[in-house]
């Protein structure tokens, strides 16, 4: 399973998402959006916005820290 989280340094929801993944033993790759035009362009092309966090789980993009959508994408209950 491939999990990526696109973050900014002062994003409280980014921190919550990372803590949630850790609590569920889900490994993830963190990608900073600040000063990273390639990442910004990618998330803009996939979601239509550049906000944080944006989660990419197995190629599916989720905007924000939405536990229901995250659990569905991860196959968790």
> pLDDT for 56-73, tens place per residue?
999 999 999 999 999 999
> pLDDT for 9-53, tens place per residue?
999 999 999 999 999 999 999 999 999 999 999 999 999 998 999
- Which uninterrupted H or E stretch holds 30? strand 29-32
Q: Where are the alpha helices (DSSP H) in the chain?
A: 12-23, 37-47, 67-74
pTM of the full structure: 0.93
For residue 5 the two structure tokens come to 């989280």
Q: Which of 43, 51, 48, 47 is nearest to 4 (CA)?
A: 43
Contact 74, 62 (CB under 8 A): no
Please name each of the domains of the chain with its CATH number: 3-74 (3.40.30.10)
């Amino acid at each position: 399973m491939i999990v990526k989280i696109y973050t900014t340094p002062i994003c409280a929801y980014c921190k919550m998402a990372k803590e949630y993944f850790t609590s569920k033993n889900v490994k993830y790759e963190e990608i900073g959006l600040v000063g990273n035009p390639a990442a910004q362009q990618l998330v803009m092309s996939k979601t239509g916005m550049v906000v944080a966090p944006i989660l990419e789980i197995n190629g599916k993009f989720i905007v924000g820290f939405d536990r229901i959508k995250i659990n569905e994408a991860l196959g968790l209950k």
